[in-house]
Structure 1
Amino acid sequence: MNYRILLAATLGALALGACSKDKPAAALNCSDPTVAIAVQQQLQQAITQSARQFAQTDSRQFIDADKIIAAVSQLSVSLADAKEDSSGSKAMCSAQLNITVAADTWQQAQANTPILYPQQQLSAILQGQLAGSNVHINGSTFSQPLRYLPAAPAASGTGALEIEAPGVAQLSHILTNALLPYGVKDTLIINGKPYSRTEALAFINNPNAAHPETLSPEAAMASAILNGAGLPPQDTPPAQEVAPSANELQQAQDNNRNANNSINQLWRNMDDMVRGELQNEQQQWVSRKERQCSEAAAKGSGVQADYLRLQCDTRLTNERINYLRGFSVP
């Protein structure tokens, strides 16, 4: 009798075990509102780091990183069409991530862009960076598909939100570049003289900027710098070309070699999936850099041309390093 009871209990346990194995996994809470909060925190961390790096390396000191950081806190983050997705190696959630920049912030960023990037418009800059990415822009809203696992309830003791690479890294850097012009300071030091941001925009947008003779010598120089020339006023004879010294040329070569070593190492150490997402964009950047630095070298001759090309290459490479570093932000 005892054997029969034991056998029945054993069979019952096996049956329960089989039922428990066949029990379907709990559905993922893909619409969990804390996902948007976690994404915004990740964006704020990445953009804060990138904005501060840009402000520290910007030789003109035009950017107030704190203005950009404040703007990030006002981003509107939402997920659309959130649903469970089993197309990958494991079940995750998929949704369209939408980030909307506040209207006044977006308007100011567009207005300030020529101060930071002479003779360029924000829309054109961003379109160049969208090539090869899965990010799209509609007005002031940035969107991209996102795969993620929501954070499990605290009682389960499991980890926090998990986002599939490349996650929000690429989006954070496109957003950083979109918000950088918003961070232009209210007072700018141009050629050693202080000018308000309004005055700087007038130098760019005012037709008088094309006729430096109508401005004071200081304002004419500021206008030339802001419009991308950085040259003396038109009625002043250009200075005679001065070849760099041997030490200056050696320093330029060393700086260029260090910059290229740094970007190559950064590229090699990047996550394979992120590097794949950036491959087309990186190739386009290399082509733009070669074209711009060839134009810079054409302004000189001989050793001077080499020096100008090295300076251009180093500057653009260091800017790209700052851009790429953010894709390694956890």
Structure 2
Amino acid sequence: MKGAHKFSFLVLSFLIFPIAFAQLRIGFYSRSCPQAETIVRDLVRQRFGRDRTITAALLRMHFHDCFVRGCDASLLIDTTSTRTSEKSAGPNFSVRGFDLIDQIKTQLEAQCPSTVSCADIVTLATRDSVALAGGPSYTVPTGRRDGLVSSPLDVNLPGPTISVDGAIGFFKSKRMNSFDAVALLGAHTVGVGHCSLFQDRLTNFQGTGRPDPSMDPVLAARLRSTCAGPNDPTTALDQGTPLVFDNMFFKQIRRKRGVLQLDQRLATAGATRGLVALFEANNAFFKRQFVKSIVKMGTIEVLTGQSGEIRKNCRAFNRRA
């Protein structure tokens, strides 16, 4: 029976991560660069010690990279005088943490030149930052290679006012389901939002001249004060434990304390309210599902084998003869 369970798990794994899972593997660098994951973990820990918001930054980076052309580090490419890149697209203006990826890459190149991809660095760094913030510790398969294309025209990410059905449809287009969508949006438990993304909910929701009735009035009043400041201020998307990776986000949106419109809609939409209730009731269950979902996300349209390249500098494609 034990062997049958193992076989069932392998079959399920293959169904979840079809071709990509077969080419990525745990410990991909165990021989070619045995210290790779330790180097990543140590540098992420150092940054987290100075800036606990790095977890949210890396989660956002990982998401924005994987959902555009797959997890190929195309987001890391800098715009030049002759070529624009994904970084120049509006949804990516607030993505940060690139300097940490540079720092990790520099050490890895010194240890194992042209071996560890920038795409794997983003995946591993995100994994380590989640654990440091109180989230689950988990393993991720590696072996991704870096992409050769980065264009702002490819960036088509959902905004905070998208409907729940629209958001789920977006995830489904990447072979993910509603469990994955809600669990990954649960990463907003450590995120922040700029006032410009939800300002209309505070004073003139959909042209009514009144606040969004689905938002707790006390929260709306507090956010109006916050957003009165200059330079498009930010606020935590989880008003309870904003620097801890837990299920507090779901508790908040169940109490009409969601900051972004999409987040609040998750708590009431028929397709997602049951999942929100499950994740609110059981932190361990949320974390288990999050692991399944983010590992699955990390396999979206990956490049492996001889595809792509291993960049020497994460911000630029390798020079070609």
Sort the TM-score into its range (normalised by shorter chain). under 0.3
Give the TM-score normalised by structure 1.
0.27
Structure with bigger RCO (C-alpha 8 Å, 6+ apart): 2
Give the TM-score normalised by structure 2.
0.27
**Higher percent of residues as helix:** 1
